[in-house]
Amino acid sequence: MLTLKLAVISVLMTGIVFWLLQKKKERYLYKKWRILLTGSLLLTGALFWLGYESTRLSFNIGTRDWEKLQGIVVQSKVVGKRAVHPEITIRYQVDDLSRTFTTDLFAPGFGVRSNRRDQAEKLVAAYSPGDTVIIHVNPHNMLEARLHVGPTWDIFVRLALSIILLISGVWHVLRFFWSTGEKSELSTGRVNEK
């Protein structure tokens, strides 16, 4: 919901900026329209992305309150040729029904392949088949379960990137208005000469 609100605000903001641009039909504004367009698009994308990642962050923080159950590791292996990662399958019981889920423990899929393989092998060794583990199950949807709860590193990376994108958009828009302000002062002769 937050994502939708931020997207609507950013689209409205872009529309208002272009309406103001069309209203002022001065030649120097048209030379700088690319800066404004870039800034508006960056702001729109950044606000949408920031809203999406904020929603994911709040959901992941909420997983800390999920119900704790015991699970049994069924299978634990390293998979993937390029993006090497662990694949751990866990079985758990809910209402006399056996359910399973698979997790990669949010292992990073980037870096040197040998490092990824070493990390994946360490995680697989920590969760051997037959081990009993504590899992967290969504009380509203018992099919949704996690081995580890809370926000993961990738959410914070994407939040940081969206903030950088937002700052870049603001900088482009401010740059446009600064450059048009200087031009209008020069064209009206209001610049103080020393």
With 70 as the cut, is the pLDDT of residue 117 above it?
yes
- 32-71 b/e with 16+ CB inside 10 Å = b? beebbbbbbebbbbbbbbbbbbbebbeeeeebeebeebeb
Domain co-membership, 21 together with 87: no
CATH number for the domain spanning 141: value is 2.40.50
For residue 94, give its domain range. 67-148
If asked whether residues 79 and 144 sit together in one domain, one would say yes
Note the pTM of the prediction, 2 decimals: 0.64
For residues 131 and 98, state if they share a domain.
yes
Distance CA 12, CA 184 (A): 26
Q: What is the structure's pLDDT at 30?
A: 58
- Listed in sequence order, the DSSP H helices in the chain are 2-23, 27-31, 33-62, 113-126, 153-188
The tens digit of pLDDT for each residue in 66-105 reads 999 999 999 999 888 777 888 899 999 988 888 988 888 7
